[in-house]
Structure 1
């Protein structure tokens, strides 16, 4: 049910965003590049959802083969961490623009932003290499084929250090960087006077949005994932606590996937040019609707 919701709402929100970024925003800057990559990461994962939706509707019986199972699980892992990194890049972009406005022009230009984006995709993909080796199809006693997550693998000597490393590098460090950027930015804006109040207010909203997303989506997901693997390492034969941890993790996977529906919010909060284009489109739509309404009234009640 959650995946169906994400497929419908995620595509509905992200496709117009990518259209506006590509076709309506004329002057691309570094934030536009990061926003575009954030949306691309979300759309890429959303496009794998039909396979997972059918898999769950088919009572966890995977019919698409081992290769597609590995690809689907790997795409989720890559896009999930790309999403976190691009949100972090947007935070760094805001930090540089506010705290180091002059230095930011040469510290992080468009070419460097593009290079950073490509590096994030490359490094995240390289770091996800273990996923297809431990996530694969398995045949159950009832002849049902499941597409297992690496979290449920018995190879905990691989999955535990891998998951812990991803937690530190892919979640904790970006969160610390984001907190530093936003705190420094707000402190700088407080010193500049009342004429930056509106800018500070927008930045504060963006900061709180990121903190809430980390608190509700990213941290619980990593905690439940590490717990599942840790319990398997302690009790390889399995027990009741492992089953409970697995259930919690399944819930967290569904909840955490909602970030693909929430990330378009960053486009509106962080992208000034994007926000301007949305306002122009909305204004144009309202103007057209008002004009048509007046035309209809004129035709019904001619002067």
Structure 2
């Protein structure tokens, strides 16, 4: 639903016009939205009696898309809820890095419970037809776009935070006010730069085969806004993909040099060695998350660049639409990787969530005892690695991987 429509190259005028006559029964509508065959969800050449959504290729893609969306709803919905609940309940988890991770958790959780059900209906159930009105069309697309930018900006902030903590350990860590301002900046930037995509998101009726109508939901940029769209896309591509990936790569390269290739001066005690292992594990997890981010989103951005700047590549590709939605679902699946790495691997939040459930069960079973008394009995940090981290003044959330 995030693709764009709305431009018409001079060389493609005849193709676009004939295509619209087959797809759109409303001539006036076609005149007000001059489509180009290379800029939209339904902008591929179709025979009059052929419906791509009924092909075997699209059926296979529909299964892949459905499985991806179900996985996102389950993993991101449950996993991020567990992380947020544990973070709210236990102050010991509220270090700077975990607060930055909470931004990813909140954004991915919203996408899992709000956007994915509508996308399941759009992609799988109704086979690329939107039936929920213009307001929800715009809202779902906007929320998903904001979530992507929040995730990217939060990953960048985490990389910079780790760089400052490891490469420049003598510098003071961020204060609470600074961290709050950084989190507010992450959301503010994401919300603002996604406004143009929301402004141009709309729905329109297209005729796919004979009398069968499909309601498209996505961005439609007018023909006279072609230059603005390309400039906007290149701006987003630069500040939300190329720039963050380049900066994060530099940060982790410098951190790796500090942790693996630089000799530690003086005698290494067991505590120092444990601290070094702890930091190495944390950085390895973050580097894996960066790698997964690039592998998931690079195909999406690459596909979009070819579609919008070299449209003739897809002119005769019948299954262009199917390929695009598979690439898009691969990109969206990156949120599952983030959730699995941050929630289950890095922070071990499931343990704290079990303690929350145990507290509620004991409180209802014992009745008279307060939850504060039960906290003293059930909450602790028995793991030696976490105890060592406290002695070394290392945030506990960064130590157990």
Q: TM-score, normalised by structure 2?
A: 0.62
2:98 aligned to which of 27, 32, 45: 32
Deviation at 1:131, TM superposition (A): 0.6
Name the residue aligned to 2:256: 186
Are residue 209 (structure 1) and residue 297 (structure 2) matched? no
- Asked whether the 8 Å contact 2:156–2:247 carries over to 1, the reply is yes
Name the residue aligned to 2:367: none
Count of aligned residue pairs for this structure pair:
276
- Asked whether the 8 Å contact 2:205–2:216 carries over to 1, the reply is yes
Query: Cα distance 1:200–1:32, how it changes in 2: closer, same or farther (>3 A)?
Result: closer
- Asked whether the 8 Å contact 1:160–1:226 carries over to 2, the reply is no
- 1:95-134 aligned within 5 A: 95-105=163-173, 108-134=174-200
- Asked whether the 8 Å contact 2:293–2:334 carries over to 1, the reply is no
Q: Give 5+ residue unaligned stretches, structure 1.
A: 287-303
Name the residue aligned to 2:315: 239
Deviation at 1:19, TM superposition (A): 1.1
Give the Cα–Cα distance (whole angstroms) in 2 for the partners of residues 62 and 284 of structure 1. Answer: 40
Deviation at 1:178, TM superposition (A): 0.9
- Asked whether the 8 Å contact 1:88–1:177 carries over to 2, the reply is yes
Name the residue aligned to 1:68: 136
Deviation at 1:172, TM superposition (A): 1.0
Q: How large is the Cα RMSD of the aligned pairs? A: 2.8
Are residue 262 (structure 1) and residue 337 (structure 2) matched? yes
Name the residue aligned to 1:14: 80
Q: Give 5+ residue unaligned stretches, structure 2.
A: 1-65, 359-401
2:277 aligned to which of 186, 198, 201: 198
Deviation at 1:245, TM superposition (A): 4.7
Give per-residue Cα distances to partners, 1:20-69, cap 9 Å, x unaligned: 11112436222122011110111121222111112221222211111110
- Asked whether the 8 Å contact 2:86–2:353 carries over to 1, the reply is no
Q: TM-score, normalised by structure 1?
A: 0.80
Give the Cα–Cα distance (whole angstroms) in 2 for the partners of residues 284 and 140 of structure 1. Answer: 51
Give the Cα–Cα distance (whole angstroms) in 2 for the partners of residues 145 and 230 of structure 1. Answer: 25
Deviation at 1:285, TM superposition (A): 9.6
Deviation at 1:140, TM superposition (A): 0.8
- 1:159-174 aligned within 5 A: 159-174=229-244
Give the Cα–Cα distance (whole angstroms) in 1 for the partners of residues 159 and 263 of structure 2. Answer: 20
1:84 aligned to which of 119, 134, 152: 152
Query: Cα distance 1:59–1:247, how it changes in 2: closer, same or farther (>3 A)?
Result: closer
Are residue 94 (structure 1) and residue 169 (structure 2) matched? no
Q: Secondary structure at 1:26's aligned position in 2?
A: helix
Query: Cα distance 1:245–1:166, how it changes in 2: closer, same or farther (>3 A)?
Result: farther
- Asked whether the 8 Å contact 1:217–1:259 carries over to 2, the reply is yes
Query: Cα distance 1:278–1:60, how it changes in 2: closer, same or farther (>3 A)?
Result: closer
Give the Cα–Cα distance (whole angstroms) in 2 for the partners of residues 54 and 210 of structure 1. Answer: 29
Structure with larger Rg? 2
Name the residue aligned to 2:299: 220
Q: Secondary structure at 1:60's aligned position in 2?
A: coil
Deviation at 1:209, TM superposition (A): 0.7
Deviation at 1:170, TM superposition (A): 0.3
Deviation at 1:135, TM superposition (A): 2.0
Give the Cα–Cα distance (whole angstroms) in 2 for the partners of residues 70 and 280 of structure 1. Answer: 37
Higher helix proportion (structure 1 or 2):
1
